[in-house]
Amino acid sequence: MTVSTLTLRRWHRRFALVLGLFFILQGVTGAIAQQRFWLMQATNPGLYRADGAGQAAPPGDILADIARERPGFQVAHMMYPAAVSPRTAIVVMGGRNAGTLDMSRIVMVNQFQNKVITEQSASAGWIGLASVLHRWLIFGTPGKIILTILGAGVVIFSALGIVIWFRTRGTSRNAKGVVKFHRTAGIVAGLFIISVAGTGTALNLYTWAEKSSGRSVFKSNMQMAPAHAGMAMKPAVGANAAYATAQKAVGNLHMVAFGPAGPHAVNYWFAFMSPQLKRTDVLVDPQTGKLVGIYPTGLTSGGDGVRAWLFPVHSGFIIGPIGGVIYSIIGISVSLWVATGFVMWRRGRRPKRKTAPVLAAA
């Protein structure tokens, strides 16, 4: 049974408002999250820029800087800047409640001068808020459900648009203005949206299942800590030596995150990224200094294959850093294109003027 083009257009328009607004939100916040390191420097260089020369300090040195300049601060983990933005300061998550894994505060550290820049609340800043909103983390489980439904809806919505374009490509050659622009850009924008929304929805479902099943290397490393509480002791191997072991194991990958061994984590944890943003996690035993394991995509199992390529495709980094920039620009541009659909939707809702009948002369 073939669905008529008129019916497809009606369904396309019915969902245009909600799904269009959703994609604009995701497109803008996604672009902000993608370029967050550059934006942090540009908007507040005094707080987020790390000036200096030479190599960035290894994680053991950063821990020492914090212990010296912010005594009592308990480090949960630290985030090194992306390879494309090496001059962004290191963000150290943690807090001052030694009894729990507190991540209510952050410390910014200049990794080239071994100097703490500032300490502030972890919720400060609009860039961090945009990153959280993009993944709907503040809404908990209901947010993940809604995000999945809307993501799948955007894929279907865009596919309908492509089908409509294909069916009417020969009859709409005389389209003008907003309609012409919407149709001309529609095929490219639709394919882009399907790719980004499809991989984003898949990522949301994958990460949801992975956290529920306990396959996250970072999370499972912390969850094992209570079982080893009675055996907890000061690491025999320093963080810098553990870092050297982890770096040697993964080759020329760029480290983006580190978690110290201690009361809340059994092993040293490292996260590395390739130029395509394929992630690899490494655990190092703090007592022996030996590798505990190397984990694709940061998962204890199932992290290779298709799963490993979802984020590179979603972010555009599958073709390298330039792809991330291109995807950010396209994400903002497609949001403007979606706005032209709203204009067409409004025009379609306006009642047509009725012309009064002309009375025939008697």
Tokens of 28: 């803008």
Considering the domain boundaries, does residue 83 fall inside one? yes
Considering the domain boundaries, does residue 53 fall inside one? yes
Considering the domain boundaries, does residue 362 fall inside one? no
Measured CA to CA, the distance from residue 280 to residue 274 in angstroms comes to 8
Handedness of CA 312, 316, 318, 320 (dihedral sign): negative
pLDDT of residue 231: 46
Range of the structural domain that residue 23 is part of? 5-214+311-347
Tokens 């998550």 belong to residue: 93
Considering the domain boundaries, does residue 293 fall inside one? no
For 284, counting Cβ atoms within 10 Å of its Cβ (0-12 exposed, 13-18 middle, 19+ buried), the class is: buried
pLDDT of residue 127: 75
pLDDT of residue 48: 84
pLDDT of residue 362: 38
Residue 183 contacts residue 130 (beta carbons within 8 Å): no
Considering the domain boundaries, does residue 237 fall inside one? no
Q: In what order do the strands lie in the sheet with 74-79?
A: 115-121, 105-110, 90-95, 74-79, 254-259, 268-273, 279-284, 291-296
Residue 269 contacts residue 242 (beta carbons within 8 Å): no
Nearest to 52 by CA among 90, 25, 18: 90
DSSP letters for 117-141: EEEEETT-SHHHHHHHHHHTGGGHH
Considering the domain boundaries, does residue 269 fall inside one? no
Domain count, the chain: 1
Which residues of the chain are modeled with pLDDT < 70? 1, 98-99, 123-124, 170-179, 181-183, 223-233, 341-362
Q: Which residues contact 214 (CB under 8 A, 6 or more apart)?
A: 220, 223, 300
Tokens of 230: 């009675």
pLDDT of residue 22: 84
Considering the domain boundaries, does residue 207 fall inside one? yes
Considering the domain boundaries, does residue 233 fall inside one? no
